[in-house]
């Protein structure tokens, strides 16, 4: 299932929020470019976690799926080292859960994403 896109009105609303966030960060940081950089980094990191979960959560899920899949790629069925595996979400909006992910080779993941038109 393709990821949902924003309508024109929703995109306009998102851009209003973005302008607000930028203004608030500029106000917090004053003329300190390093502080503005740190605030941006913090916001980007936390919003990324909202979508992708924290790295430790994903690492635990990868190890779990690796065992459940008998160390094999869910795409090609071949054996796969944990280090070179990636979690592929069935529906991106449903996040990184046991039910919503499959562990696949990095190359197989890229192949899947290309088929879905994500690359």
User: Nearer Cβ to Zn ion, position 43 or 76?
Assistant: 76
In contact, 101 and 89? CB cutoff 8 Å: yes
Q: How far apart are CA 65 and CA 101, in angstroms?
A: 8
- In terms of Cβ atoms closer than 10 Å to its own Cβ (0-12, 13-18, 19+), residue 103 is buried
Output 65 or 105, the one with its CB closest to Zn ion. 105
Footprint of Zn ion on this chain (CB under 5 A)? 73, 75-76, 105, 108
* Shortest CB 89 distance to Zn ion, Å: 16
- 28 versus 76: smaller Cβ distance to Zn ion: 76
Least distance to Zn ion, CB of residue 65, Å: 13
As measured in angstroms, the least distance from the Cβ of 53 to Zn ion is 23
Element (H, E) at 57: helix 55-68
């Amino acid at each position: 299932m393709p990821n949902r896109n924003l309508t024109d009105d929703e995109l306009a609303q998102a851009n209003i929020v973005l302008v607000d966030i930028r203004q608030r960060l500029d106000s917090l940081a004053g003329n300190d470019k390093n502080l503005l950089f740190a605030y941006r980094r913090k916001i980007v990191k936390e919003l990324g976690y909202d979508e992708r979960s924290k790295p430790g959560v994903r690492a635990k899920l990868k190890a779990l799926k690796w065992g459940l899949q008998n160390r094999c790629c869910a795409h090609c069925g071949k054996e796969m080292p944990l280090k070179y595996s990636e979690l592929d979400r069935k529906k991106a909006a449903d996040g990184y859960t046991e039910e919503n992910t499959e562990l696949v080779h990095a190359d197989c993941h890229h192949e899947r994403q290309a088929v879905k038109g994500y690359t």
